[in-house]
Structure 1
Amino acid sequence: MKTTKQIALGRVTSGYQYVADEVDPDKRHVVRVQWHVTDLPRSAVKQDLLFSLGSALSIFAPSKNHAISRLEELLATGIDPGQAPFQVAVKIPGAKSTILEEDDVDEPELHTDIVEVARDRISARIAEEFAGHELTALITAILEAEGFTCTMSPPGADGGIDIVAGRGVLGMDSPRVIVQVKSGGQTGDSVVRDLSGVVHTQGADQGLLVAWGGLSKQARGTVQSQQFRMRVWAAEDVVDAVMRVYENLPEDIRSRLPLKRVWMLAE
């Protein structure tokens, strides 16, 4: 989805239809679909399958690296199990036996969106290198690079507070921010409400929820009702923040997440 960068999954419920009375001529050619998931984060899908889903064709059939079974698993659980070891028996003319040939990755789309591919790879590296409490350390480094003074909670139970951030030498000047970091799947409404309560009891100005896997529909509604008190960073927002302050991040983080800026001709 171009607007949210999320992925929608559904099942086709009818064959092709031509809707003659549709006002918009671009919407007269129809294949009806029942959508089951409309907010799957790109971070939930591994890179090889993202290549297939980024095909330049409107209708195509992904066939390699167990794409269909993986899409079924994503539809059911929201988790991409990745490609399993898979080999195909190939008969060579004139040979006495068959050989095993590994299944290949689907080719990327004809006109690859280089920016999107780069961002997907950065996101994948962050998910791999900064899992769990390490993501909290990365967010702390980003906020410090933005000029905040931060106190990061140690691993384990944190009472809903992963980071306390504020301006000034002591970090006590406004805006004072309470940060909660979730590195797993979709974050539910209860986490949003808990963070809102902690922001109030701690006398903070704002709350920041880092929800790497995005928010549930109900949680998005709760955040929308508190948009002047709370912000959410999903995976896309974390990538944006990293790119914004990369030169000011600590050397050890830059060594674990090596990036370089590239200029290219705009097509």
Structure 2
Amino acid sequence: MMAEVNMWMVRAGQGGRQADEFREKAHVGIGWEEIGDLSAFADKASLVQEYRSRFPDWPDGRRLSAASQLIRFRDEMAAGDRVLTYDSSRRIYHVGTITGEYRHDTAVLPPCENVRPVEWQAELDRDRLSLAARNSLGSTLTLFRISDAVREEIEALVSGQAAAPVAVEEQDDGEDEEALLKRYREEAVEIIKDRVSRLDAWEMQSLVAGLLRAMGYKTRESSPGPDRGVDVIASPDGFGFESPRIVVEVKHRPHTTMGAQEVRSFLGGRHGDDKGLYVSTGGFTKEARYEADRAKIPLMLMDLNGLVTALMEHYDHADSETRALVPLTRLFWPA
């Protein structure tokens, strides 16, 4: 009888910021507060005790959740198991296979120095998953086992088959009340990102212009046609005569990552006093971010995460045109 093959979610840090590192180094990593080599702990109880002595102010549920996930990473995951991690800036899941045992790698920056080697094999757009599957993957836990129903849907999509949407019951992976509230908030943010992604290119340009107006600027948008790399001009007077003059390029290509060449092209026509904002809903490569860091003018790269975060932060000051593009409402939340 063949051994059961599990599929695991291992989150790549807040917002999936370590997803590129996971892929480049062919591993997944986990850890909290630089706990060190997990081989030093006999079992979960000894790890909980370590957290209790080091972090006496933590609630019991938080200590237990952290210890449980670390022990699962060390003892329950196995070579041959499938693994998933999420890059929220590009809205894709990386899918791979665990190829070896747990090890403590001091060459990896803490707290993710507890690693397992992985052969990354596929990427899966979040939009291709059923709503039930997306909700199931929304747990705030750094590590959890994916249900068989969702695993089967993912494997079918990765192999090119037409996967029938599966009704999935939510899993109870030991999340306490605080973690559940965090999970619901993060799921709501992902749904907002889904809706923003469904805007067309001109609506996205208008949304970015509306965000800048909500921040106190006046804006001018380019008309359809060649724009010479400028989609929006934002300034105090609306004409670009007064400083700061913010020149904005908007690329709404959810599945296309902007690289260094695109950033260089945008910078090529800028004046010395300009400020640059480059919005890409498909995210940016590391080379593009390096190009922005060394630019001769102040330049901010904004991916979908940054756009939605800024929109929520300034939504109260948004005009009716902007609100109509992405209707949101506030709700009461347990303190």
- Alignment partner of 1:254: what SS? helix
1:141 to 200, 207, 210: 210
Q: Deviations over 1:101-147 (max 9, x none)?
A: x731463665441111111011111111x221210011111111212
- Alignment partner of 2:243: what SS? strand
1:196 to 267, 283, 287: 267
1:10 shift after superposition: 5.1
1:3 shift after superposition: 3.4
Q: Structure 1 residue 118 and structure 2 residue 188: aligned?
A: yes
Contact 1:17 1:31 in 2 (8 A): yes
Q: Structure 1 residue 5 and structure 2 residue 16: aligned?
A: yes
- Match of residue 58 from structure 1: 143
Q: Distance in 2 between matches of 1:238 and 1:28?
A: 31
1:157 shift after superposition: 2.2
Contact 1:54 1:109 in 2 (8 A): no
- Alignment partner of 1:138: what SS? helix
Q: Distance in 1 between matches of 2:209 and 2:304?
A: 15
- Match of residue 92 from structure 1: none
1:107 to 160, 170, 182: 170
Q: Deviations over 1:228-259 (max 9, x none)?
A: 61001111111122112212223243234221
Q: Which amino acid aligns with 1:114?
A: Y
Contact 1:186 1:211 in 2 (8 A): yes
2:257 to 182, 186, 201: 186
1:84 shift after superposition: 4.7
Q: Structure 1 residue 14 and structure 2 residue 84: aligned?
A: no
2:157 to 70, 75, 93: 70
Q: Deviations over 1:128-179 (max 9, x none)?
A: 1x22121001111111121212110112321111111112354321111110
Q: Deviations over 1:198-243 (max 9, x none)?
A: 223xx54211000111102221221222386100111111112211
1:61 shift after superposition: 3.7
In structure 1, list runs of 5 or more residues that go unmatched: 74-82, 87-101
- Alignment partner of 1:134: what SS? helix
Contact 1:180 1:209 in 2 (8 A): yes
- Alignment partner of 2:167: what SS? coil
Farther-moved stretch of structure 1 (167-176 vs 140-149): 167-176
Q: Distance in 2 between matches of 1:162 and 1:45?
A: 32
Contact 2:207 2:325 in 1 (8 A): no
1:167 to 219, 236, 258: 236
Query: RMSD across aligned C-alpha pairs, in angstroms?
Result: 3.6
Q: Distance in 2 between matches of 1:44 and 1:244?
A: 29
Q: Distance in 2 between matches of 1:249 and 1:31?
A: 46
- CA change 1:139–1:109 in 2 (3 A) is farther
In structure 2, list runs of 5 or more residues that go unmatched: 1-11, 18-85, 88-93
Q: Which amino acid aligns with 1:115?
A: R
- Match of residue 323 from structure 2: 254
Q: Deviations over 1:21-59 (max 9, x none)?
A: 99xxx9897532245789x99789775444343344735
- CA change 1:131–1:84 in 2 (3 A) is farther
Q: Distance in 2 between matches of 1:58 and 1:134?
A: 37
- Match of residue 80 from structure 1: none
Q: Distance in 2 between matches of 1:41 and 1:223?
A: 27
Contact 1:207 1:229 in 2 (8 A): yes
- Alignment partner of 2:185: what SS? helix
Q: Distance in 2 between matches of 1:236 and 1:70?
A: 25
1:5 shift after superposition: 3.3
Q: Distance in 2 between matches of 1:45 and 1:231?
A: 31
Farther-moved stretch of structure 1 (60-69 vs 228-237): 60-69
Q: Distance in 2 between matches of 1:148 and 1:20?
A: 48
Number of matched pairs: 235
- CA change 1:126–1:175 in 2 (3 A) is same
Q: Distance in 1 between matches of 2:297 and 2:287?
A: 18
